[in-house]
Amino acid sequence: MAKSQNTLYNLSQIAQSAQTSAGALAAQMANSAAQKRQSELLALAQNLNPQQTNFNPPAELDAVIFFGDGAFIDTNSNIMTMANGTQVDTTTGLQYHDPSSTIRMANGAYLDTKNNILTMSDGTRIDSSTGVAITT
């Protein structure tokens, strides 16, 4: 009978130990999950409010860009001057005429007083000194 009691006692100790270990494992897993959840929330909060760093503005274009054929672009006014002196507006691609030397007419034509060229509303260009049409 004493042997049976010892066996019963040992079996109950094993069951108690298994129950205690299972409880400890569950507590450990819950603690690990809580720590993981907390670190994910912390990472999310840090992404929402990133740490301030010194701001370095992006590199800007040079004020004037020169090309090998003699042409250049003024990046402040967006005007490209070709080697032959023709100026082109880089934003529209159209030939540029200095507004201070341009006389605009009601029908859409304009006179470039610097170069003495009358440009009609249909695009025809006429040399205002000679009256001869300019073809390009």
Say what the pLDDT of residue 74 is: 93
Whether the per-residue pLDDT at 5 is higher than 80: the answer is: no
pLDDT in tens, 17-64: 778 888 888 888 988 999 999 988 888 877 776 667 787 888 888 889
Do 78 and 110 fall within a single domain? no
Query: Does 83 share its domain with 111?
Result: no
Is residue 83 in some structural domain?
Answer: yes
Both 84 and 106 in a single domain?
no
Please tell me the distance from the alpha carbon of residue 81 to that of residue 65, in angstroms, as a whole number: 10
Same-domain pairing of 105 and 136: yes
**Is residue 19 assigned to a domain?**
no
Identify the residue whose tokens are 């003495």: 116
* Structural domain contains residue 13: no
Residues 68 and 89 in one domain: yes
127 within 8 A of 116, measured Cβ to Cβ: yes
At a CB cut-off of 8 Å and minimum separation 6, what does 94 contact?
Answer: 88
Show the domain range for 112: 97-136
- Element spanning 73, H or E: strand 72-74
Residue burial 105-115, b: 16+ Cβ < 10 Å; e: rest: eeeebbbbeeb
* Number of domain units in the chain: 2
Q: Within 10 Å of residue 118's Cβ, how many Cβ atoms? A: 20
pLDDT digits (tens, 9 = 90+) for 78-90: 999 999 888 899 9
User: In terms of domains, do 87 and 110 share one?
Assistant: no
